[in-house]
Amino acid sequence: RARQIGYGIEEEGLPRCGFESDNPFEEALEDTKKKGLGVAIALDKEKAQIFCRQFKKEEPFMHYAGIENEALRVVGKNAARILKHKPFILEE
C-alpha cells in the first residue's frame, strides 16, 4: 500500500522517503513541523491522511478512507502537488 503512494509521488517527479511507525498519524503531524518540505503522509489499513505545514493546522489537510491501489497513487500525487503548486486531483 505504501508503495502505491510512493509511485504517485514519483509520477509527479519528486523523490520519496518513508518509515514505519506505531502511530503514523502523530508522527506525520510532527514531521511537518521539522525542517524539510513540510508535507507528510500517514497510512494505516483503513485510511490515509496528508499533513502540511503550509496550512498551519493540527489536523490533516486531506483525508482518504477505504482506499484501493489506484486511489493510493492519487494520495501520493496530491502530496507532491502541494509542493509543486499544482491543482489537486479530486477524482480518478
Q: What is the pLDDT of residues 19-72, one digit of tens each?
A: 778 888 888 888 888 878 889 899 988 899 999 988 767 788 888 987 788 889
The CA distances from residue 46 to 42, 43, 49, 58, in Å, are: 11, 8, 10, 20
pLDDT at 92 over 60: no
Q: Cite the beta strand spans of the chain per DSSP E.
A: 39-43, 47-52, 62-65
